[in-house]
Structure 1
Amino acid sequence: MKIKPLTTNLSALSMKKLMVTGSIIMGLSGAHFVHAQTVAGKDYSARSEVDKTFDMVGANAFGQRFPAESFTFEDEVTGKKVIALTTSRHQNSKIYQTHPQWTPDGKHIVFRSDRSGKGLTYAISVDDHEITQIASGDDGSSFHLGWKKNHAYHFRNDSLIRLDLNALLEDSDAGDVANKSSYEKVIGIIDQHLHPNGMALDHDEASLYFSTRVMDGESSIYQVDLASGNISEVLTVPFRIGHLQANPYKTGEMMYCWETGGDAPQRIWMASIDSDGQVTNRPLYHESDETWVTHEVFLDQDHIGFNVMGHLDRLQKGDNGIYSLNIRTDKLTFHGQQNWGGYWHTAGTTDLKWIVGDTFNGDIYLIEYGQPNHTTLLTTGHRLTSKSPFSSEAHSHHSISPDGKWLLFNSSLLTESDIMIMPLIDD
């Protein structure tokens, strides 16, 4: 069928200017605007949003919504159901595994994407998988969700900002997003020379910690009182601090690592602040010269999980694989190892029933806690061409939902980088 051209009485437009933007025709006369999408006698105005597909939209707009792009499939090897929450051509990745992924009410997962032209933060509904942009401009993608309240904390230039995520998501859903500043509160102003890096929210949500490099070879951790905005130094160490994370279950404790970009002399450290403000700083899991530790996370109030790498011949001479450590008693529990370089990332349920580990080729395994022989392959092939950690394909960085029912992870199975989710345990 041929579409007839749009015809207009040009003499009636002698003092008007005809503007065409995309498929929207606007006749301008003073303050008068005619919004129409009528072609060949058919009005397409009701479908004015369908062109905002995940491949097309590049506008950096706070509170804008994107249609669901999820795709559900069965793993070709295990037959288990996997849901790709993102499937666009853009780079999409979950928040790093040391931080919360789900909003406290469990209704949204927060992730990072460059779909608006730069790395920013978005929230995806767990019900209908629609996506809302919750950051814009200079906000970046380093957001820390609240543990109990639907807030998100981030730095913008020298300001620590708290975003009322609940109000924003409700207004976006209603199609009535207000000015960005109406959802934000500036908690404190950071000295310009500090340049905040890592960020951790205390369990009681009364304090937020951030790390910063003091000078070459030294880093510090600072505490921000969220009620007053006052900032105080917690400690300084003679190395680069990375992956700062608060104990999600106990106030006044944080774990961080000696960050080298590779094998650190002593990877895992813990700082504790008592009721009098006294700070204790100590290493966790003392390493040997032939030990390469990585990807430490809290499992519950008293236990952490981490991986001891086995991807090199010299590392296979000693103990390697996934371990958990009781940080009160130093009791160590082994959870197994895989071939071809072994496990890489670690996560676990808070009831200490299950551990999840992945391998360099993107296979993900479920392990019964402390029972390496009771291991089940969950899903496969999320790093299709990789046999080592040093390829460009996605790092799993998997996390388990607070209720222990869902596994969230990064994948390069469908595109270069997507986020996927699947049930942890079969019903």
Structure 2
Amino acid sequence: MSLRKTSLLLSLVLALTPAWAQIGQRVPSEKRIVKDPVTGTPLTFLTTKPGGDSKIYPSHPQWTADGKWLVFRSNRVKGEAIAVNEASGEMVQVTEGGYEGMLNLSQSGGNKLYFLRKDPAGGDAKVRQAIEVDLDRVFTDSKARKLKPADAYQRVIATLPAELEAFGDNALDADNQWFYFRIQGKDYAGAKLPAGTKIEPPFGPRGMGAGPHAIGKVNVKTGEFQHVVSVPFQIGHIQSNLWNPGELVFSWETGGKSPQRTWTVKGDGTGLRPMYPESAHEWVTHEAIIGKDEVALAIMGHRPIPGVEDASRAPGTEVGGANPGQEKSWGDSGTREKLTGLVIVNLRTRESLLAGQTLKGSGLWHVHGSPDGRFAVGDDFKRDIWLIDRKTREMMLLSAGHKDTARDHPHPTFSPDGKKIQIQSAMLAADGREMSICVIPVPKAWLNRKP
């Protein structure tokens, strides 16, 4: 091969090689402030270049314990997680060797990250490792440009046996002592059910929801494994109460309407019960613990009332795209014939309060609330962001123009101080699909109101 061809080949290889590979690698800021084209709200985009970015699911913390970094998923290095400094915009790779499913940020005791991953040694594909990352050490060495091998920052908490079929629906307890995860090994989960329990079959047109599944946990310090609970249906979206150790909320996952979506259980397996007991006409979804005693959820009003013509729906737009969940086989749930909207459930009193709902369109879809109990937020099928004052019930369009062609939904999540909201947005995407990490401030006029 000639020297010229060799040089061309080397250039091609380098061009196709990711700029990042090792944990702690950095790239310059892409941070940009953009005025919302509809509402005028200043939007801080922390990522602006196409990179396969997406935020952590809104049921989990987005900011590190010190409030300085947001961690997100990205294909900038395929299969690895990235942290962006909110002030400087600089980004740092914070995993090496991959992760699966949820990313869990500790909220006390230093900046740490927890997740599941496949065993890098190979072998049984069903074996998973629970991993802890010391983010403080990563950030310090990254800034000093003195990076060490990955095992200097990443610790294997436990290797979980294949029979568990541990999955990426997981959560870190409030006191950082236990790491909870979904068990989808049916033989294992079924053996822990009470004798005679009816195993649920698939529910709905997506063929999901069948059980049994279970929740297990490992001790973060010792790696000890304990069984928490088994249920006869498919588990999804496990989340922990970040203000109350040993309390979990999870879902019966069907990909749409569920017979009973929301559940709660204690970390020791006691107290299993439906969190919001729903009626057949209610389409309950996207629950998120927002405070010590409260959970926000959406009761969807996104489907036409049977027999009532809806002139606002153009032919051919009933299914898919920005308007999922319209299939007739879901039944008659999810219409506005009954009350719908953003609901706050009190875990102690079991009382429910309707906080707000849009006047038209899909209604609120993914919901969250500020930990101080002052505000709630939700997105809709148009990807608009709606802010609610829980005291006055006032509702405002906070941000719009985020493109319903995006790869995913905005998934708004409040910061721990309740002063800003993180979303993912395709507003800047040339292809209308690529997502950017974006932070939206709560208007000062609202923050200055008396609680």
- Normalising to structure 2: TM-score of the pair? 0.78
Consecutive aligned runs of 4 or more in structure 1 exceeding 6 Å deviation: 21-24
Cα-to-partner distance string for 1:140-195 (whole Å, 9 max, x where unaligned) = 46321112121111223222111111100111111111111111222112112222
Equivalent in 308, 323, 343 of residue 299 of structure 2: 308
Paired residue for 2:239? 245
List runs of 5+ in structure 1 lacking aligned partners.
1-16, 25-50, 386-391
Equivalent in 358, 364, 367 of residue 388 of structure 2: 367
- When Rg is computed on C-alpha atoms for both structures, the one with the higher figure is 1
Paired residue for 2:129? 159
Residue 100 of structure 2 is aligned to residue 144 of structure 1 = no
Cα-to-partner distance string for 1:70-114 (whole Å, 9 max, x where unaligned) = 221111121110011111122111100011110101111000110
Whether the aligned pair in 1 keeps the contact of 2:229 and 2:269 (CA below 8 Å) is no
Whether the aligned pair in 2 keeps the contact of 1:358 and 1:365 (CA below 8 Å) is yes
Whether the aligned pair in 2 keeps the contact of 1:60 and 1:137 (CA below 8 Å) is no
CA distance in 2, matches of 1:185, 1:82: 36
Q: 1:88 to 1:412 in 2, by over 3 A?
A: same
Residue 114 of structure 2 is aligned to residue 120 of structure 1 = no
Paired residue for 1:180? 150
Equivalent in 254, 264, 282 of residue 258 of structure 2: 264
Cα distance, 1:336 vs. partner? Answer: 1.4
Local SS of the residue matching 2:397: strand
CA distance in 2, matches of 1:424, 1:293: 27
Whether the aligned pair in 1 keeps the contact of 2:365 and 2:381 (CA below 8 Å) is yes
Cα distance, 1:139 vs. partner? Answer: 3.2
Cα distance, 1:253 vs. partner? Answer: 0.3
Cα distance, 1:57 vs. partner? Answer: 4.5
Paired residue for 2:314? none
Paired residue for 1:296? 287
Aligned amino acid, residue 154 of structure 2? E
Whether the aligned pair in 1 keeps the contact of 2:38 and 2:399 (CA below 8 Å) is yes
Cα distance, 1:219 vs. partner? Answer: 0.4
Residue 345 of structure 2 is aligned to residue 317 of structure 1 = no
Residue 212 of structure 2 is aligned to residue 218 of structure 1 = yes
CA distance in 1, matches of 2:132, 2:8: 37
Cα distance, 1:207 vs. partner? Answer: 0.9
**Aligned residues: CA RMSD:** 2.4
Cα distance, 1:285 vs. partner? Answer: 1.3
CA distance in 2, matches of 1:156, 1:308: 33
Between 121-130 and 412-421, report the one with greater CA deviation.
412-421
Paired residue for 1:229? 223
Cα distance, 1:20 vs. partner? Answer: 5.5
Q: Which structure: greater strand fraction?
A: 1
CA distance in 1, matches of 2:215, 2:404: 39
Local SS of the residue matching 2:233: coil
Paired residue for 2:67? 106
How do residues 273-284 of structure 1 correspond to structure 2 at under 5 angstroms? 273=267, 277=268, 279-284=270-275
Whether the aligned pair in 1 keeps the contact of 2:423 and 2:438 (CA below 8 Å) is yes
Paired residue for 1:327? 347
Q: 1:258 to 1:224 in 2, by over 3 A?
A: same
CA distance in 2, matches of 1:278, 1:76: 49
Paired residue for 2:438? 420
Whether the aligned pair in 2 keeps the contact of 1:74 and 1:80 (CA below 8 Å) is yes
CA distance in 2, matches of 1:139, 1:393: 21
CA distance in 2, matches of 1:175, 1:20: 29
Q: 1:358 to 1:97 in 2, by over 3 A?
A: same
Paired residue for 2:92? 132
- Normalising to structure 1: TM-score of the pair? 0.82
Paired residue for 1:84? 45
CA distance in 2, matches of 1:130, 1:362: 27
Percent of pairs with identical residues: 35
Whether the aligned pair in 2 keeps the contact of 1:152 and 1:162 (CA below 8 Å) is yes
Aligned amino acid, residue 279 of structure 1? T
Whether the aligned pair in 2 keeps the contact of 1:395 and 1:410 (CA below 8 Å) is yes
Cα-to-partner distance string for 1:328-377 (whole Å, 9 max, x where unaligned) = 112211111111111111111111111111111111111111543x1121
Aligned amino acid, residue 49 of structure 2? S
Aligned amino acid, residue 290 of structure 1? H
Aligned amino acid, residue 395 of structure 1? H
Equivalent in 402, 407, 411 of residue 416 of structure 2: 402
CA distance in 2, matches of 1:317, 1:81: 37
Aligned amino acid, residue 310 of structure 1? G
Aligned amino acid, residue 200 of structure 1? A
Between 210-219 and 121-130, report the one with greater CA deviation.
210-219
Local SS of the residue matching 1:154: strand
Equivalent in 202, 213, 236 of residue 173 of structure 2: 202
Between 257-266 and 221-230, report the one with greater CA deviation.
221-230
Aligned amino acid, residue 304 of structure 1? V
Whether the aligned pair in 1 keeps the contact of 2:381 and 2:404 (CA below 8 Å) is no
Aligned amino acid, residue 258 of structure 2? A
Local SS of the residue matching 1:167: helix
